[in-house]
Amino acid sequence: MKDVIRKLRPRLLSWLHRSGSAGRIALFVRRFSYKEVKKATDEFRRVMYSNPDGVSAYKAKLEDGEVVLVKEVKFLDHEENSSDGEFYRQVQLLARLHHRHLLAVRGFSAGRKRYLVFDNIENGSLKEHLDDPLRTPLDWRTRLQIAIGVAAALEYLLHFSDPPMYSVSISSSNIMLDQNFNVKVADISVHTSSTNSSALILQSSDSEGSDELQHENIIFQLGLLILELVTGQSSVKGCTDLVQWIQECSSSSSFHRMIDPDLGDRYDSSELRKLLAVARVCIRSRYEPKFSIQQIFRYLQKKVENPYELTYE
**Rounded Cα distance, 150 and 136, in Å:** 21
The number of angstroms, rounded, from the C-alpha of 179 to the middle of its chain's C-alpha atoms is 17
pLDDT score, position 151: 95
- The answer to whether 115 and 108 are in contact (CB under 8 A) is yes
In tens, the pLDDT along 108-139 reads 999 889 999 999 899 999 999 999 988 999 99
Closest CA to 187 of 58, 12, 34, 8: 58
* Identity of the amino acid at 41: T
- Using N-to-C axis directions, what is the helix angle for 293-301 and 269-284, rounded to 10°? 180
Residues 97, 82, 202: CA angle, nearest 5 degrees? 30
Task: Enumerate residues 6+ apart whose C-beta is below 8 A from 16.
Answer: 22, 24, 25, 28, 92
Residues forming a β-bridge with 61? 67
Q: Which residues contact 109 (CB under 8 A, 6 or more apart)?
A: 31, 32, 33, 34, 36, 37, 115, 117
- pLDDT-above-70 percentage for the chain: 72
Higher pLDDT, 227 or 203: 227
Would you place residue 102 in the very low, low, confident or very high pLDDT band (cuts 50, 70, 90)? very high
> Which pLDDT tens digit goes with each residue over 273-309?
889 989 989 988 877 777 889 999 998 987 664 434 4
Q: pLDDT (tens digit, 9 = 90+) per residue, 40-92?
A: 999 999 999 987 778 899 999 999 999 999 999 986 544 554 567 788 888 98
Cα angle, residue 219 at apex, residues 216 and 223 outer, rounded to 5°: 135
Picking from 25-29, 30-34, 179-183, 278-282, which range would have the lowest pLDDT averaged per residue? 25-29
**Burial of residue 2, with CB atoms counted within 10 A of its CB: 0-12 exposed, 13-18 middle, 19 or more buried:** exposed
